[in-house]
Structure 1
Amino acid sequence: MAMLLESWQTQSYFPYTVELKLRNGEVYGSVSFEIPTPKVKHTKENGVIAIDTNASPIHLATAEVSKTGELLSYQTINLHHLIGLSQNSKDHQEWILAHQIVDLAIQKNKAIAIENLKKLKKGKRGDGKAELRKRLHHWNAKKFLQKLKRIAILKGVELVEVNPAYTSIIGMLKYAPQLSTDKDVAGAYVIGRRALGFKEDTPENYERLLKDKAYLQFALKRYEEREKELRELMEKESNEYKRNAIESELRIVEDSKKLLTNLIQSLQSESSSCEGADGRNLTWQVLKVALLFPILGKVLPRDLSPLKPVLVEGVWDRVRSRLVPLEAGGTVPIRDFWSSLRGIVWTSER
């Protein structure tokens, strides 16, 4: 609209196409014309503002990354206010947010880095993830990123799209505990580093953990116990959707057992490898399986800080030694291990 107004005021016109349509007695018109692409002024030579989109909860995580790969600042932007809005109102709010992020990049004189989302996971009916599908229905991250890309081009900001493979896992395991941030900010940080050309090496203590047969057997035992619990829950549960959710977790547990079993077997044959059948490097996937549930008790925990002693000091042997059967029966809960390590006093639930 600003271009059209300026053209009328200066009488410096440009070619355009007008299309008129008659619909229910009303005439609708659309005007099409090319917008000149400005020169890119803000590039990744000065670093990036990296964006990570998340559906549960619905929000954005941004990370300002220096040209040398350091995390300078970060924030999370809650998007729950978009739920329940009409499509037009939602689009309007997304355009405003896209402008704000691009303006931030201009202020910091940096490029913008995003994931190259070719296919957004939407789930399917009956998979036990109805709440996630509902959130994805209310907010389409891919459409927002398209808006962001368009505004960046119009304002002369370089936009870098990166391969999203393992960005979330690397963020969770490497940077969230190390920098004391949540997993989404850590994921955005990895996106930013990848956009700048940095490669993520596996931390030394994590490499040692993947060669510790005793720990891997402990982790495998944890999954075997969880598998037994889930199968018992399946037999008792009559609700179809709850059964689907249990079955979904059961498949994750079975896949995790398979990864750990293959790694233990490769250690026994003295040919340690984290490659999949298709030749892909599965190191980060195996680390996720070996660390999250066995130590934290959850497949996708929000708090990753308990991993810091493992990452920095390599103390997974303490986890294994503290989770041995007691003489009176049962095992020592993981929280007791972390409370002793971090000096936290827990109140017993018994």
Structure 2
Amino acid sequence: MIVIQAKLIFPNQEDKQIVLDLMRRWSSCMRFAYNRLLEGEKRADLKRKLPQVFNLNSRYVDDAIMKARSTLESAKELGKSPRKVIFGGKKLFRKLQKHHLNGKAYEKLKVKWQEKRKGNLYSRGDKSKKGNLNTRIEVRKNGTFLRINVGERKYVYAKIEAGYKKNKKRGELLQEIAESNIPYSVELKLKNGSIYAYIAIEEQYPEIKITKEKGIIGIDVNAYPDNISWAEVDEKGNLISYGSIPMPELASGNSDKREYFRWQYAHEIVKIAKEKRKAIVIEKLDIKNKGEKGDFSGKKSRRIRHNFSYKSLLKKIKILAKKEGIEVIEVNPSYTSIIGMLKYAPQYMITKDIAAAYVIARRGLGREEKIPDNYIKFLNALTIDELEELKEHVEKTVRNKQLKKKHLKEINKAIEILQSLESEPGRVLKPLDGTSFSAYDFWRVLKVAVVTPLSPEKVKRDFSVLKELLIQGKWGDP
């Protein structure tokens, strides 16, 4: 996505007021649509009745509904209550509620919030309508203008001014957009009494030339420590090379600084993939770790969401890879860390983060991760009494505030799985017919039985000690 920001200059104050009124009605329409979508109303029904309510054409209304739906889905994705969304900004609203400011300072804050709440308009692009029907770029002898549809066959023209005389490339790009009928979206925003336009076009990506046919680079992004681990595999899923890129700049600093470094690290990953002629596999961009209470309150979850910008970094890798014609595959990240630490970290003597990247790469090739035979033997020999002893030990450490309660939950789950296996002849480890247990559950049991006794206070990063158990099947010593 290429976005051009421009300030709009109106020939007279009357035209500006007409556009401000349009923005106010569109913003109200969007908020109204949001509340109706919360109540379960359908888009088709809203599109039919809202044009008369807000005196907007059907295209403006449809764009308002789309923005409302996008806001609703975003709130759900972040685990927030959609009913607590505040248009205009929650932080500004909370400041206004405190009444800690008086006079001009309070009025200035109030105006800023009202501008963010009521000063918006969005218009989608359409190739069949020569780029954009409601907000169209037109090039004239005396400059470049934005034609804004303010009513039936009524238009207001505003000059696009953003230093284009000094920046010929941007001016040429605007002319190219206007003359080529490329679909472009326009978003108007009111800031400090001025109206700004944000003109966006979808960038045309080159044909994908680097695919997974010759192998893959798997990417694992870690919140602690801040680093990107990568693993290169061939087309059969065999490990070829690996590495890790530390990212200390993402742990602190302002948002602009972190944004800059996210792009830099994304460039490094894409450069590796381009040099090795391998596709890239990343985790799906949903943040499913909501913390222990399910409200994003956990320490790791907060770091991922706020400081580390996990989702943003993966998006940048995806964008840059597409620009280079590199295939990007997204996979389910479930249990990649557990499988990596137990199966591949001791086998290849690599860190658990690189091992997780290896699992992600193999998953991108469609490879299934089978539990090694010696681990199956170990699990078949494991008794509930042994887990109960481990649970008793962990309960003591929890009381001493040395461990979190989540360790007890993991042990209880492992005991539950083994109890279900008691009736199985020979305790064959496979997904249980007629139960909700899957192969992933057995990896969970392994983690409890192997990792917790080794390091009950904190998950280890070096798992070389498991090599004898994994390869030679030696176990029995405490």
Which bracket does the TM-score occupy, shorter chain normalised? 0.7 to 0.9
Structure-2 residue corresponding to 1:199: 368
Task: Please say which of residues 44-53 and 289-298 is displaced more in the overlay.
Answer: 289-298
Is 1:100 the counterpart of 2:268? The answer is: yes
Question: 2:300 is matched with which residue?
Answer: 132
* CA-to-aligned-CA distance 1:287-344 (integer Å, 9 cap, x gap): 2222212345456221211000000110113x1xxx4xxxxxxxxxxxxxxxxxxxxx
Structure possessing the higher relative contact order (Cα contacts under 8 Å, 6 or more residues apart): 1
- Match in the other structure for 2:436: 278
Q: CA deviation digits over 1:205-229, x for unaligned, max 9?
A: 11111222xx435641441332441
SS in 2 for 1:210: helix
Structure of larger gyration radius? 2
Aligned-residue offset at 1:186:
0.3
Contact 2:226 2:250 in 1 (8 A): no
> How high is the TM-score relative to the length of structure 1?
0.76
Show the counterpart of 1:159.
328
In the aligned structure 1, how far is the partner of 2:296 from the partner of 2:286? 24
Cα distance in 1 between the residues matched to 2:292 and 2:404: 15
Contact 1:17–1:32 (CA under 8 A) maintained in structure 2: yes
Aligned partner letter, 1:285: R
Aligned pair count? 305
- One-letter code aligned to 1:259: I
Q: Is the 8 A contact 1:116 1:163 kept in 2?
A: yes
C-alpha distance after superposition, 1:239-258 (max 9, x if no partner): xxx59x63333333333333
Does residue 33 in structure 1 map to residue 192 in structure 2?
Answer: no
Q: 1:310 corresponds to which letter in structure 2?
A: L
- How many Å separate the matches in 2 of 1:255 and 1:314? 24
Are the counterparts in 1 of residues 394 and 407 from structure 2 also a CA contact under 8 Å? Answer: no
Q: 2:355 aligns with which of 180, 186, 193?
A: 186
Q: 1:306 to 1:222 in 2, by over 3 A?
A: farther
Note if 1:109 corresponds to 2:267.
no
Contact 1:170 1:187 in 2 (8 A): yes
Tell me the secondary structure at the aligned position of residue 243 of structure 2: strand
Distance 2:406 2:296 in 1: 7
CA distance, structure 2, for counterparts of residue 19 and residue 104 of structure 1: 36
User: SS of the counterpart of 2:237?
Assistant: coil
Equivalent in the alignment of 1:58? 226
- 2: CA distance, partners of 1:90 / 1:147: 13
Contact 2:237–2:367 (Cα < 8 Å) also in 1? yes
* 1:171 paired to 2:340: yes
SS at match of 2:405: helix
C-alpha displacement at 1:84, in angstroms? 2.2
Give, in angstroms, the shift of residue 185 of structure 1: 0.2
Which residue, out of 453, 457, 462, partners 1:294? Answer: 453
Query: Residue type matched to 2:461 in 1?
Result: R
| Pair 1:254-2:412 in alignment | yes
Identity %: 37
Find the partner of 2:391 among 224, 234, 238: 224
Q: Does the 8 Å CA contact 1:266/1:273 hold for their aligned counterparts?
A: no
**Structure 1: distance between partners of 2:342 and 2:326:** 31
Calculate the aligned-residue CA RMSD, in Å.
Answer: 3.2
Instruction: Label 1:249 to 1:158 Cα distance change in 2 as closer, same or farther (>3 A).
Output: same
Query: d(CA) in 1 for partners of 2:349 and 2:214?
Result: 25
Q: Cα deviation per residue 1:150-190 (whole Å; 9 max; x = unaligned)? A: 22222211001112222111111110000000101001001
Deviates more, 1:279-288 or 1:51-60: 279-288
CA distance in 1, matches of 2:398, 2:461: 26
Q: Which amino acid aligns with 1:46?
A: K
Decide whether the 8 Å contact of 2:290 with 2:297 is kept in 1.
no
Q: Residue 313 of structure 1 aligns to which amino acid in structure 2?
A: Q
Q: What TM-score comes out, normalization by structure 2 length?
A: 0.57
